[in-house]
Amino acid sequence: MEGLLVQIVSALETLCEKYKTTPMAGRSNLQQAVPMSFGFKMARLLAQFRRHQDRLKELKPRLLVLEFGGAVGTLATISESASHAPAPQDSVKEGLGLQCQRLLAEELGLGMPSIAWHCERDSIAEVGTYFALLTSTCAKFATDLKIMMMPEIGEASEPFVHSRGSSSTMPQKRNPIGSAYICAMASSVRSMSVGLCEASVADFERSTGPWEIEWILLPQACALTHAVVKQTNYLLSGLEVSPENMARNLELTQGNVVSEAVMMGLGKTLGRSYAHDLVYDVCRQAVVEQTPLIDLLLKNEDIKRSKVPEDELRRLCDPGQYLGWSAEMVDRVLQSKD
C-alpha cells in the first residue's frame, strides 16, 4: 500500500509540473464555471494523497498492536510473579505474564498494548474508515475521468491498451473501464467501513456476534482497497491528457466562461451590481446569437461610455489570463512534500 501511494504521488507531481499553466474549464454543478489549470486540478488530488500518506503513518502505531491477554484480557493464566526473561531497562518490574506479552510483541514486530483490547475495536474501525477515505479519493478522480473521457469533452483518457474497454458490438467505443471498477469497488469499501464500525459495538469482554463481522468484512475491505489504489496508480501513471480539447471546450460558451472576470473588471467603473446585470444580459445574448462575448462587449453602448480600453476587454475575455493563483498554488503543493 505504502509503495503504491508513493508511486501515485510521483505520477501526480509529474502531471502538476507538466500542466501547471494549461488552461481548462473549472466546473460547478456540471456547468463551466471559471478557468483554472489542469495542473491545479491535479495538485488538489496530490494534496489529498499526501494527507492519506500522513494518515497511514499516524494510523499504523495504533493499529499494529499486539492482542494477547487470555479470556478477558487479564493474563490470569500466566500468574507467576518472577521470570528469568530480561526486563527492559528502566522499566517497572514485570511479572511473567507481562514479560511473555512483551517478548511476543517484540517477536512479531508489534506494539506493546497498555491494556487488553478484546472488545475495544476502535483501531479496526479506524482502518476501515481510512480505507473508505482513501478509496473515496480514488473514486472522485475516477468519476471526473469518466466524464472527461466522453467524446463531447475529451480532455483526458485512461491509458490506451488494445481492446481494453472495447465493446462487443460497437467497435468505436473506448469505455472508462478502470474508472468504473474503481468507483464500484470504492463504493463497496465505504459500505464495509460502516460494518466495521458496527463491529465495535460489542457486549462485555468478548462479544456474541459483532466481533465476527470483522472476519467477513476486513479481508474484503483490504483486498478491494489494494485493488482500487493499484488501479488508480495505473491510470495516473499513463493518463492521456488533451490540452487542445481543453482549449476547445473553453471556447464553447462564446467566452461566457470568463464572465466573472469581465464583471469584476467593469465593476471598477460601472459599479459591481450594475456590471453584474449588464454582463448577465450580454452573456445571454452571446448564447442565443452564438456570438463571441468580446464582440458584443465592444458593441455595447454602456461599456463604450465606461471608456474601458479595447485591449483591456480582450484581456478580460482571455481564459488564459484568468487562472488566478493556480500556478502558485501548484508550486506550493509541490514544495510542501518535505
Say if CB 127 and CB 56 are below 8 A apart.
no
Question: Are residues 111 and 226 located together in one domain of the fold?
Answer: no
CA distance 50 to 55: 9
Task: Identify whether residues 7 and 132 lie together within a single domain.
Answer: yes
* DSSP letters spanning 191-252: HHHHHHHHHT---TTS-SSHHHHHHHHHHHHHHHHHHHHHHHHHHHHT-EE-HHHHHHHHTT
Q: What is the mean pLDDT of residues 294-307?
A: 85
In a domain, 230, yes or no: yes
pLDDT exceeds 60 at position 338: no
Residue pair 82/167 in contact (Cβ under 8 Å)? The answer is no
**Over 60: is that where the pLDDT of 89 sits?**
no
- Which residues have C-beta within 8 Å of that of residue 60, sequence separation ≥ 6? none
Residues 182 and 142 in one domain: yes
pLDDT at residue number 97: 87
At residue 207, the pLDDT reads 83
Share of the chain above pLDDT 70, in %: 92
* Of residues 111 and 256, more confidently modeled: 111
Q: Annotated catalytic residue: which of 51, 62, 164, 206?
A: 206
**Residues 109 and 121 placed together within one structural domain of the fold:** no
Q: Cβ(88)–Cβ(102) under 8 Å?
A: yes
User: Amino acid identity of 221?
Assistant: A
Please check whether residue 121 lies inside any domain of the structure.
yes
On average, the pLDDT of the chain sits at: 89
Please state, in angstroms and as integers, the Cα–Cα distance from residue 212 to each residue in 85, 119, 197, 224, following that order.
35, 11, 12, 19
**Grid cell for residue 54:** 500522513
Question: Which residues pair with residue 240 across a beta bridge?
Answer: 157
- Domain end, chosen from 199, 224, 248, is at 248
- Has residue 331 been placed in a domain? no
Binned at pLDDT 50, 70 and 90, residue 299 comes out as confident
Residues 285 and 193 in one domain: no
The C-alpha cell at 71 is: 479470556
Please classify residue 193 by burial: count the beta carbons closer than 10 Å to its beta carbon, then call 0-12 exposed, 13-18 middle and 19+ buried: buried
Asked if residue 332 belongs to a domain, the reply is: no
Q: Are residues 22 and 138 located together in one domain of the fold?
A: yes
333 domain residue, yes or no: no
206 an active-site residue? yes
Which residue range is the domain that position 91 belongs to? 66-116
Check whether residue 131 and residue 214 sit in a common domain.
Answer: yes
Q: Both 143 and 128 in a single domain?
A: yes
Give the contacts of 105 (CB within 8 A, at least 6 positions apart): 66, 68, 111, 112, 113
Residue 321 domain-assigned (yes or no): no
> pLDDT of 112-171, one tens digit each?
999 988 888 899 999 999 999 999 999 999 999 999 999 999 999 999 777 675 666 666
- Which CATH number do you get for residue 30? 1.20.200.10
Q: How far apart are CA 313 and CA 294, in angstroms?
A: 7
In this prediction, residue 68 carries a pLDDT of 92
What pLDDT score was predicted for residue 82?
43
Total number of domains in the chain: 3
Among residues 209, 196, 31, the alpha carbon closest in space to that of 125 is found at 196
Residues 264, 240 share a domain: no
> Is 336 within the bounds of a domain?
no
* Residue 263 forms part of a structural domain: yes
Taking the model in full, what pTM does it have? 0.86
- Asked whether residue 87 carries a pLDDT value surpassing 80, the answer given is no
Q: What are the φ/ψ torsions at residue 20 (nearest 5 degrees)?
A: -55, -40
Selected catalytic residue, list 51, 164, 167, 248: 167
- Domain identity same for 21 and 56: yes
* Least confident among 74-78, 223-227, 304-308: 304-308
Q: Single out the residue of 180, 181, 194, 178 nearest to residue 224, CA to CA.
A: 181
In this predicted model, what pLDDT tens digit does every residue of 231-288 receive, in sequence order?
999 999 999 999 999 999 998 888 888 888 888 888 888 888 988 999 899 989 888 8
Q: Where are the alpha helices (DSSP H) in 290-325?
A: 293-299, 301-306, 310-316
Q: Same structural domain for residues 240 and 153?
A: yes
With a CB cutoff of 8 Å and minimum separation 6, the contacts of 273 are: none
